[in-house]
Amino acid sequence: MLLELCKALADPCRLRLIAVLLNGEFTVQELTRIFAMGQSRISHHLKILTEAGLLEVKRQGTWSYYRASPTNRLFAALRPAFEPELELLPERSRDLTAVTAVLEERRRRSLEFFDRNARQWDDLARTLLPVPEYRQQLLAQVPAGSTVLEVGIGTGNLLLELAARGGKVIGVDHSPSMLEEARRRIAASGMGTVELRLGEISHLPLPDASVDCVVANMVLHHAAEPVAVLAEIRRVLAGGGRLLLADLARHEREWAREKLADQWLGFGAEELTGWLTTAGFTDVCCERLAGSAGQEAVLLVSAS
């Protein structure tokens, strides 16, 4: 294993790939853009790193995302000393700039889609990708009278039910059109305890440790960087605070990328649990709600 690892890392391009993939998941097409190299060259280096056990491939429909493998024990032991050295690579600054551009393109596509489809979003999602009823199970776990933040509110159809629990409710979304739809809904209800803010869910417009509970309802599969979103949620939660998350279980409906702007075709329970643990959460509980005919399964997650 040691010999294979050393051989795999004995190349400047592969070192750059590892430096990028230690902090994110990218397709071959995205990596060719980041490194400004041909696909065959990138694929060759990815194959070597994967065969050495340094990378793993996550299949999402017809797309394949490469990421650093968490199961290579030797590399995990070396990583604390190895990773700071990667920051000193001559091309590191350029690579980080290119990574930012790729992630920004993911966000831009999402923003344009939701701004364009805000008015019909609720019907669109419900019709194209039905899921079992789970909202009451999610709401039942929200502490009454607490300060609650919902990230990625869409048209705000969950906000009023959150506000009915008696606490302060803050809603954040990156789409001005979605926020406008949510404002109309709130104004019609006369509910004055809901505050709306424009912002990215990976850079929330709130101070550290400022809310008691965060609700993320069917939003993570739209996120350009799910791990960064979970870390940001951890930042704004006060000590003892709770994250309540509902999202799609892994599925193979490839068309959801175009029709619903889904960045990810759902998640695995182990995957979400691992991300939450890395982000600093404890007491992670993940329940899978199976869908009936024509429905996709849902993962209900709570964490401290």
- One DSSP character per residue, the chain reads -HHHHHHHHSSHHHHHHHHHHTT--EEHHHHHHHHT--HHHHHHHHHHHHHTTSEEEEEETTEEEEEE-TT-HHHHHHHHHHHHHHTTSTTHHHHHHHHHHHHHHHHHHHHHHHHHHTTTHHHHHHHHS-----HHHHHTTSPTTS-EEEES-TT-TTHHHHHTTSS-EEEEES-HHHHHHHHHHHHHHT--SEEEEE-BTTB-SS-TT-EEEEEEES-GGG-S-HHHHHHHHHHHEEEEEEEEEEEEBP---TTHHHHS--SSS-B-HHHHHHHHHHTT--S-EEEEE---TT---EEEEEE-
Q: Tell me the percentage of the chain whose pLDDT exceeds 90.
A: 69
- What does the pLDDT read at residue 117? 85
Tens digit of each residue's pLDDT (9 = 90 or more) over 245-267: 999 999 988 988 888 889 999 99
Residue 242 near residue 302, CB atoms below 8 Å: yes
Which pLDDT belongs to residue 50? 95
Q: What's residue 164's pLDDT?
A: 86
Tens digits of per-residue pLDDT, 10-48?
Answer: 999 999 999 999 989 999 999 999 999 999 999 999 999
Q: What mean pLDDT is predicted for residues 106-132? A: 87
**Cα–Cα distance, 241 to 20 (Å, whole number):** 32
Average pLDDT over every residue of 208-228:
95
Confidence of residue 123 (pLDDT cuts 50, 70, 90): confident
pLDDT confidence band for 216 (50 / 70 / 90):
very high
pTM for this predicted structure: 0.85
CA dist 101 and 109 (Å) reads: 12
User: Is the pLDDT confidence value at 192 over 80?
Assistant: no
127 band by pLDDT with thresholds 50, 70 and 90? confident
Q: Walk across the sheet containing 63-68 and list its strands.
A: 26-27, 63-68, 55-60
**What residues are paired with 247 via a beta bridge?**
299
Residues 230 and 253: their CA atoms lie apart, in Å, by 24
Q: Give dist(CA 49, CA 44) in Å, integer.
A: 9
- Would the pLDDT of 53 be above 90? yes
Q: For 120-146, what is the mean pLDDT?
A: 89
pLDDT of 227 above 90: yes
- pLDDT mean across residues, the chain: 92
Can you tell me the distance from the alpha carbon of 91 to that of 88, in angstroms, rounded to the nearest whole number? 8
Q: What is the pLDDT of residue 18?
A: 96
Percentage of residues in the chain having pLDDT higher than 70:
100
For residues 249 and 237, give the distance between their C-alpha atoms in angstroms, rounded to a whole number.
25
Across the range 197-220, mean pLDDT stands at 95
Is the pLDDT at 72 greater than 90, yes or no?
Answer: no
Per the document, the length of the chain is 304
Between these two residues, 97 and 193, which has the higher pLDDT value? 97
Summarize the confidence of residues 161-184 as an average pLDDT.
Answer: 90
pLDDT at 84: 93
In order of their start, the domains of the chain are 2-90 (1.10.10.10), 121-303 (3.40.50.150)
